[in-house]
Structure 1
Amino acid sequence: MSNFWINLYKFPRFLVSVLLGFFLTTFQPIFKLLKNKSNRLILIMISLNIIGLLYRIIQKMTGIK
C-alpha cells in the first residue's frame, strides 16, 4: 500500500514533465518556421484565419451577435 502513495506523490511531477515535453515538441517546428520572414507572414495569416474561423463558429453555435 505504501507504493501506491509513493506513486501518487510522484504523479504531479510526471504530469508536468509530460505536458512540457508535449508543448516543446509541438511548437519547435513552428519556431523554426518563424525564423524566415516569408514563412512568418504566411504562418501569421494562417493563424489569423484559423482564429477568425473559430470565432465565427462559436458565435454561430451560441447565437451571440
Structure 2
Amino acid sequence: MGEFFENVARYPRYLISFTLGIFLVFFEWIKPLFKNPISAIAVGGIGIGIFSLLYFTLKAMLGLSPV
C-alpha cells in the first residue's frame, strides 16, 4: 500500500515539470519573434486576445456574467 501512495505522490511533480516544459519550449519558439518590434506587438496582441477569449468564455460558462 505504501508503494501506491508513493506513486500517487509523484504525479503532481510530473504535472508541474510537464507544464513547465511546455511553457519553456513555447517561449523558445516565440523568442525570435521579439527581435522585430512589429512582430513583438503582434505576438503580444495575440497573447492578450487568447487570454481575453479564455477569460470571457470561462466567465460565461461558469455563469459569472450578469446576463
TM-score norm. by structure 2 comes to 0.60
Indicate the structure (1 or 2) with the bigger Cα radius of gyration. Answer: 1
Deviations 1:1-51 (A, max 9, x none): xxxxxxx8xx8xxx5xx6465443321121111111000010011111101
Matched pairs, number: 54
Instruction: For structure 2, list consecutive stretches of 5 or more residues without a partner in the other structure.
Output: 1-6
CA distance in 2, matches of 1:55, 1:62: 11
Q: What is residue 48 of structure 1 aligned with on the other side?
A: 48
Q: What is residue 4 of structure 2 aligned with on the other side?
A: none
TM-score norm. by structure 1 comes to 0.62
CA RMSD of aligned residues (A): 2.6
CA distance in 1, matches of 2:46, 2:40: 10
Instruction: For structure 1, list consecutive stretches of 5 or more residues without a partner in the other structure.
Output: 1-7
| Partner SS for 1:63 | coil
Runs of 4 or more, structure 1, over 3 Å off, are: 18-24
Q: What is residue 60 of structure 1 aligned with on the other side?
A: 60
Task: State the one-letter code of the partner of 2:54.
Answer: L
